[in-house]
Amino acid sequence: MEEEKKEQVMKKEYFYRGKSMDYLKGLDVRESAKYLTSRARRTIMRNFDVIEKFLKRCERKMLKGKKIRTHLRDIVIVPKMVGMVIEVYNGKSFEEIHLSPEMIGHRLGDFSITTVMVKHGGAGIGATKGSRAMKK
């Protein structure tokens, strides 16, 4: 009995703008765009064919058991993508992203940072007048 309670507590149903995730996942890409913010909606309506093509490719790769890797950082995350693990290219390497319901409406590139914090070290040998003598 305690195990059943734990499962119920751990399994939280997520709602996006008053609609359950099961309902949103069943919708077409263009139909699910109605529930997104205006900017994401306009982007999806302009590029719905690119997003649908990407989803089909993801489904094929998942069936084969391969990793989903992409350079498409500008794709808007739609409800059908929730639960997927996608590796997004950041200019140097692929970063693994676990898509969750909170990410709906954002872009893939928002979660794969391209720049790193620079921490400058000390000056190198020969960079200052005092270190010229060490050059030999």
- What's the mean pLDDT in 110-114? 92
**What's residue 12's pLDDT?**
76
Q: How many whole angstroms separate alpha carbon 101 and alpha carbon 57?
A: 21
Q: Which residues on adjacent β-strands are paired with residue 19?
A: 16
Cβ within 8 Å of residue 76, ≥6 positions away:
36, 40, 43, 44, 47, 51, 105, 106, 107
Domain 15-114 has CATH 3.90.1640.10: no
The structure's pTM equals 0.76
**What's residue 72's pLDDT?**
94
Give me the residue spans of the domains in the chain.
15-114
In terms of Cα–Cα distance, which of 72, 79, 74 is closest to 103? Answer: 79
